[in-house]
Amino acid sequence: MMWPYMLPHPTSVDRRAALLELIAMFGAAPWLNAADIDYDDPLYGPINVFDFAGLAKKKLDPMAWDYLDGGSEDEMSLRDNRRAFDDLIIRPRMLVDVSKIDTSVEIFGKKVAYPIFLDPTGGKNCFFKGGELETAKGAAAAKALHITNGGIDEFIETGKATDAWWQLTTGGNIMTKQSRKAFTQRIEDLGCSAICFTVDIMHVSHRERDMHNKLERAWCESGLPPRDALGKMPKAKNPWRAGLYPERQSPTATWETLAELCSETKLPVVVKGIMTAEDGERCVKYGAKGVVVSNHGARQQDHVGATIEALPEVVRAVNGKIPVLCDGGFRRGTDVLKALALGAKAVCVARPYLYGLACFGQRGVARVMELLHTELALNMGLAGVPNLAAIDRSLVRWRHEHKG
Ligand SMILES: Cc1cc2nc3c(=O)[nH]c(=O)nc-3n(C[C@H](O)[C@H](O)[C@H](O)COP(=O)(O)O)c2cc1C
């Protein structure tokens, strides 16, 4: 049996024989049944998200790499998002029957194969031509839930997109009753299963790597940053600048905007960008049907700490009334397991699949998701939790707990 979402590849006979031998040795472990894979295909060179990151860095224009990988100002939260996972320790359980591992999760009435979703990301064309569509195809191949930034309506209409997809809004298109109606009607008709409302980007932060690079954000909409034959950048007409006093022409969204959006659509609205218990409570109060604990991949407000540290207080505040998701720094199956133990319904990733996208387009997106999924399944097997219902708070402890 192949993993259901594995992309077709020619077989390599010698390797196949060797792998079949291994399978005979270990029994019917599903991750060894990938005997049909051609491991000479460069797609299979990287074996984890970090390998994909290294390859993406080599492949991308340095300016595009900085845009993908960087955070805001001191990049303190960027480091925190990763560092905090080291402070969480898994408490594995032995002698549990883990012959069958079920990673599936149900959210808003849809069953999804595993609780790792694709976060929304802008500027994908900087990493791969037609980036949003490539991502949507990769997500469909990987049977993953995809939160799209939009622009893939035609693909959705073919019926080939992933069954569960959510549409992103950052507020601009929901500020009046009329614009909300136009927006929600269109995506309800297309069959979207939720709306993701990002609330942490009312102003755009200083991403200082991009400022030093004199990146023009518009370049990422059209494609890779332009270079002349000598590899030189054209002079940016409108580079990202520091020292501009923040102001917006029109009012930004408030909790009332959220309440109006929630009351006017039949789709569940998931608020992305929550970092405190108080805002978690407000999400419930104003009608949200889900919340993503997120610091925007440490690309907006800096010095907010790690999302995995904020997760428990939001879970407590929401108190099971709506699902809590979490993103920020997830690179390993063990990271995902830790978040599930702290009460997350699922996690989302952005940079990991963007690394895959930059390296191999849709196949890279699918492969990264597959690696994360199999790492999660494997670590569930090692930790003695055969399904998501078996995962609870006792599966982890903070490093400082129970020292003696
Ligand atoms: C290149 C890039 C573009 C992003 N664009 C958006 C966006 O348009 N809307 C949004 O809500 N979040 C955006 N994000 C944030 C992600 O959705 C997500 O919250 C975060 O990156 C998750 O952390 P991770 O990259 O460490 O997985 C972007 C992130 C990156 C890396």
In which band, very low, low, confident or very high, does the pLDDT at 3 lie, cut at 50, 70 and 90?
very low
pLDDT at site 236 = 83
On the question of pLDDT at 4 being above 70, the answer is no
pLDDT at site 15 = 52
Half-sphere exposure of 74 (CA within 13 A, CB side): 9
Query: Strand 110-112 relative to strand 105-107: parallel, antiparallel, unpaired?
Result: antiparallel
Query: Strand 346-349 relative to strand 324-327: parallel, antiparallel, unpaired?
Result: parallel
- The mean per-residue pLDDT over the stretch 57-61 comes to 94
pLDDT at site 22 = 44
**CATH code for 46-235+253-398?**
3.20.20.70
Q: How far is the CA of 96 from the centre of ligand 1 (A)?
A: 37
Which pLDDT tens digit goes with each residue over 82-119?
Answer: 999 999 999 999 999 999 999 999 999 999 999 999 99
On the question of pLDDT at 28 being above 80, the answer is no
Taking the CA of residue 198 as reference, the ligand 1 atom at the shortest distance is 11
| Residue 327, beta-bridge partner list | 348
- The mean per-residue pLDDT over the stretch 238-254 comes to 92
Sign of the CA dihedral with 122 first, then 125, 127, and 130 last: positive
On the question of pLDDT at 398 being above 90, the answer is yes
Which pLDDT tens digit goes with each residue over 185-212?
Answer: 999 999 999 999 999 999 999 999 999 9
- The mean per-residue pLDDT over the stretch 308-317 comes to 98
User: Which residue minimizes the CA distance to atom 30 of ligand 1?
Assistant: 121
Q: How far is the CA of 348 from the centre of ligand 1 (A)?
A: 10
pLDDT at site 238 = 87
pLDDT at site 13 = 42
On the question of pLDDT at 21 being above 80, the answer is no
Taking the CA of residue 294 as reference, the ligand 1 atom at the shortest distance is 19
Ligand 1 binding pocket, CB closer than 6 Å = 68, 81, 119-123, 149, 168, 198, 272, 294, 296-297, 299, 327-330, 349-351
Which pLDDT tens digit goes with each residue over 130-169?
Answer: 999 999 999 999 999 999 999 999 999 999 999 899 999 9
pLDDT at site 404 = 54
pLDDT at site 230 = 74
Taking the CA of residue 124 as reference, the ligand 1 atom at the shortest distance is 1
User: Which of 275, 296, 354 gets mutated to test ligand 1 (max ligand atoms within 8 A of its CB)?
Assistant: 296
- The mean per-residue pLDDT over the stretch 4-20 comes to 44
**By the 8 A CB rule, do 162 and 145 touch?**
yes
**By the 8 A CB rule, do 254 and 180 touch?**
no
Is residue 402 flagged as an active site residue? Answer: no
On the question of pLDDT at 373 being above 50, the answer is yes
| Residue 396, beta-bridge partner list | 90
Percent of the chain with pLDDT over 90: 80
Taking the CA of residue 196 as reference, the ligand 1 atom at the shortest distance is 11
User: Which residue minimizes the CA distance to atom 13 of ligand 1?
Assistant: 121
Q: How far is the CA of 26 from the centre of ligand 1 (A)?
A: 39
Percent of the chain with pLDDT over 70: 90
Q: How far is the CA of 296 from the centre of ligand 1 (A)?
A: 5
Q: Which candidate in 206, 212, 296, 402 is catalytic?
A: 296
Q: How far is the CA of 62 from the centre of ligand 1 (A)?
A: 19
| Residue 397, beta-bridge partner list | 89
Taking the CA of residue 329 as reference, the ligand 1 atom at the shortest distance is 26
Domain ranges of the chain: 1-40, 46-235+253-398
pLDDT at site 7 = 42
- The mean per-residue pLDDT over the stretch 163-178 comes to 93
Structure tokens at 247: 């102001």
pLDDT at site 158 = 97
Which pLDDT tens digit goes with each residue over 208-240?
Answer: 999 999 998 888 877 777 777 777 767 788 899
pLDDT at site 6 = 43
Q: How far is the CA of 349 from the centre of ligand 1 (A)?
A: 8
User: Which residue minimizes the CA distance to atom 28 of ligand 1?
Assistant: 121
Structure tokens at 403: 């020292």
User: Which residue minimizes the CA distance to atom 4 of ligand 1?
Assistant: 121
Share the mean pLDDT of the chain: 91
User: Which of 128, 299, 311 gets mutated to test ligand 1 (max ligand atoms within 8 A of its CB)?
Assistant: 299
Q: How far is the CA of 60 from the centre of ligand 1 (A)?
A: 18
User: Which residue minimizes the CA distance to atom 2 of ligand 1?
Assistant: 121
Predicted structure pTM score? 0.92
User: Which residue minimizes the CA distance to atom 1 of ligand 1?
Assistant: 68
User: Which residue minimizes the CA distance to atom 15 of ligand 1?
Assistant: 296
Closest CA to 376 of 79, 101, 63, 143: 101
pLDDT at site 286 = 98
Q: How far is the CA of 281 from the centre of ligand 1 (A)?
A: 24
**By the 8 A CB rule, do 97 and 387 touch?**
no
Taking the CA of residue 352 as reference, the ligand 1 atom at the shortest distance is 27
pLDDT at site 53 = 98
